[in-house]
Amino acid sequence: MASTAHFSEEEVAELREAFGKADIGGNGFIHTNDLTDVLKAANLSLPGYKARELIQNLTTTGDGRISFDEFISIFQNLKSDDVAKSFRKQINKKEGICAIGGTSEQSSAGTQHSYSEEEKYAFVNWINKALEKDPDCKHVVPMNPETDDLFQAVGDGIVLCKMINFSVPDTIDERTINKKKLTPFTIQENLNLALNSASAIGCHVVNIGAEDLKEGKPYLVLGLLWQVIKIGLFADIEISRNEALIALLREGESLEDLMKLSPEELLLRWANYHLENAGCNKVNNFSSDIKDSRAYYHLLNQVAPKGDEEGIPAITIDMSGLREKDDVQRAECMLQQAERLGCRQFVTATDVVRGNPKLNLAFIANLFNKYPALHKPENQDIDWSSIEGETREERTFRNWMNSLGVNPRVNHLYSDLSDALVIFQLYEKIKVPVDWNRVNKPPYPKLGGNMKKLENCNYAVELGKNQAKFSLVGIAGQDLNEGNRTLTLALIWQLMRRYTLNILEDIGGGEKVNDEIIVSWVNETLTAAGKDSTISSFKDSKISTSMPVLDLIDAIQPGSIKYDLLKTEDLNDEEKLNNAKYAISMARKIGARVYALPEDLVEVKPKMVMTVFACLMGKGMKKV
């Protein structure tokens, strides 16, 4: 892996962000064409042969893709003062980025954090629309996108909690949000609730604290909001949630191939499916290829209702704007047509012409969600039973991995682990050293590529057995590579369990922790607080009422549980779920980063129950 030692953490974060803007598919690579554009933008006009030589040296496979490590190496080589300054200046000018001086001691030495005015404008308009009828947000919504209203509005945590629920409904129990007569303490609770809930839905929040949000640090606020918004936009761009996506199957392609595509790749394929039907050229991205608005015009025309479905009136798209000579004017005419479909969100005409990849991706995702214009194929020979959504356990594991910032992001638990790269990153999170020289990195060659992935998987199993001392009886690298559900989950669970116990051991000064120790601590804490609840194990049926969890939370933070909101005896299933939703949100509110779901408590799933009590134990030990 390329060394990042020459850069501060903040610089690496900024470089990763810059890399991410060009990495549209979110698959950990940018195209060499994008690199050349960036070099030109940095006033570094290399002759064509020189640019090709540079790229050839760095991308040994020569398939036109550059990883983040290679990007770091390039930047390092070019990081003379003049080039670096010119690079930043040009990129900022091109992207409409605002730079703000840092306030920490480190920052005051000259570090600047940048944020995009366009993103702020887009996110404010999206939030205004999402929360316009919410009485709890009347004190801040609508916000003015032209000012810094947004950065003040997130300070009490209410807007963030509401936006998390907008993206993933029911994540936060509304009863746990502090809404009236807010004090610094109740605001802190709201921000804890927002951050821990964001983490539970798969946002990477490792470097964001409640204080950062309270202070309204723009680059952190926008970074968190983008993750929350994107998770909501992408929620239904998945075959088990939207079977009509099978219409995008290409000739000779299996259903399995289609199911491996990321939401970004599915959106690109969806756009091209409609563009092909319109007799237009395909697009390769939602940045440089859409700048002239022509593809958007034809896409809008294809997906607009034609009046052939009952109760849905036809909307005719006026294509005359295509004749506009000026790109910005043409984009504005196109957006006026998008507005007639109720889909103008996220981009301005300038964002289209500049090819802002993030905002154009959001624009397309929102258009897809409202007007997919796809029909589930009737005659194709498709095994519909193979299209099953992920289980709760699988979703929890996936969200846990993504919250730790693994790269690339995990969209599909099994296919995205088939080269073990994410597993190696998780080993590092649990302090198991990985010899990266033994790891094959993408892009993999077309011939023999799967053998490279299999070698990685074999090494991942070897590390688990020999270094991590996991119980991996009967698990081979081939099982990970082929996505064997039971055996892959067995490894992931041991990774998550070790991660959870490591946190406890760090808090407890290195003392080893096991299930018995956690159960004993839970019971001692409950008894010391005068609570009647106890648990015999993580399989104890009393856990299905959530009362042991709620009592433990109240023991750790006395007076935090409002018992009058709960039913404590003779509970039916609905009342049990009601208690569990409250318990999970309250655990997050007092500062425990809980990934489990309410149903895990109701059904007493011992693995997830263990993580809940372990996280609460960590919180309780910190208070001692």
pLDDT band at 457 (very low <50, low <70, confident <90, very high): very high
pLDDT band at 103 (very low <50, low <70, confident <90, very high): very low
Neighbours of 357 (CB within 10 A): 21
Q: What is the pLDDT of residue 534?
A: 97
pLDDT digits (tens, 9 = 90+) for 63-99: 667 777 777 777 666 654 344 445 444 545 445 667 6
403: Cβ contacts below 8 Å, ≥ 6 apart: 199, 200, 202, 203, 204, 205, 206, 595
Residues forming a β-bridge with 115:
98
Q: What is the pLDDT of residue 63?
A: 61
More confident residue, 133 or 20: 133
CA distance 256 to 263: 15
DSSP 8-state assignment for residue 414 = T
Instruction: Provide the token pair at 202.
Output: 């798969």
- Do the beta carbons of residue 123 and residue 351 sit within 8 Å? no
pLDDT band at 568 (very low <50, low <70, confident <90, very high): confident
Q: What is the pLDDT of residue 558?
A: 97
Give the percent of the chain with pLDDT over 70. 82
In this prediction, residues 352-378 reach a mean pLDDT of 94
In this prediction, residues 318-334 reach a mean pLDDT of 97
Q: Cα angle at 440 between 39 and 259, to 5 degrees?
A: 85
Three-state SS at 355: coil
Is the pLDDT assigned to residue 26 strictly greater than 80? no
More confident residue, 70 or 568: 568
DSSP 8-state assignment for residue 170 = T
CA distance 368 to 374: 10
pLDDT band at 194 (very low <50, low <70, confident <90, very high): very high
pLDDT digits (tens, 9 = 90+) for 145-169: 999 999 999 999 999 999 999 999 9
The whole-angstrom distance between residue 463's C-alpha and the CA centroid of its chain comes to: 27
Three-state SS letters, 563-604? HHHCCCCCCCHHHHHHHHHHHHHHHHHCCCCCCCCHHHHHCC
In this prediction, residues 574-588 reach a mean pLDDT of 97
In this prediction, residues 449-473 reach a mean pLDDT of 97
Instruction: Provide the token pair at 536.
Output: 């015999």
Is the pLDDT assigned to residue 193 strictly greater than 50? yes
Residues forming a β-bridge with 99:
114
Q: What is the pLDDT of residue 340?
A: 96
Q: What is the pLDDT of residue 241?
A: 87
DSSP 8-state assignment for residue 242 = -
- Min mean pLDDT across 12-26, 284-298, 404-418, 450-464 is at 12-26
Neighbours of 284 (CB within 10 A): 13
Q: What is the overall mean pLDDT for the chain? A: 88
Q: What is the pLDDT of residue 82?
A: 45
pLDDT digits (tens, 9 = 90+) for 236-295: 998 888 889 999 999 888 888 898 899 999 999 999 999 999 999 999 999 999 999 999
The whole-angstrom distance between residue 347's C-alpha and the CA centroid of its chain comes to: 21
Is the pLDDT assigned to residue 218 strictly greater than 60? yes
pLDDT band at 42 (very low <50, low <70, confident <90, very high): very low
Q: What is the pLDDT of residue 508?
A: 83
Listing DSSP states for 462-523 in one string gives HHHHHTS----TT--HHHHHHT-HHHHHHHHHHHHHHHHHHHHHHHTTT----HHHHHHHHH
In this prediction, residues 556-565 reach a mean pLDDT of 96
- Min mean pLDDT across 43-57, 179-193, 302-316 is at 43-57
Instruction: Provide the token pair at 136.
Output: 């709890």
Q: What is the pLDDT of residue 91?
A: 47
pLDDT band at 311 (very low <50, low <70, confident <90, very high): confident
pLDDT band at 378 (very low <50, low <70, confident <90, very high): confident
Q: What is the pLDDT of residue 389?
A: 80
pLDDT band at 30 (very low <50, low <70, confident <90, very high): confident
pLDDT band at 58 (very low <50, low <70, confident <90, very high): low
pLDDT band at 112 (very low <50, low <70, confident <90, very high): low
Q: What is the pLDDT of residue 386?
A: 66
End-to-end CA distance of the chain: give it in Å, rounded: 41
Global pTM? 0.83
Q: What is the pLDDT of residue 72?
A: 72
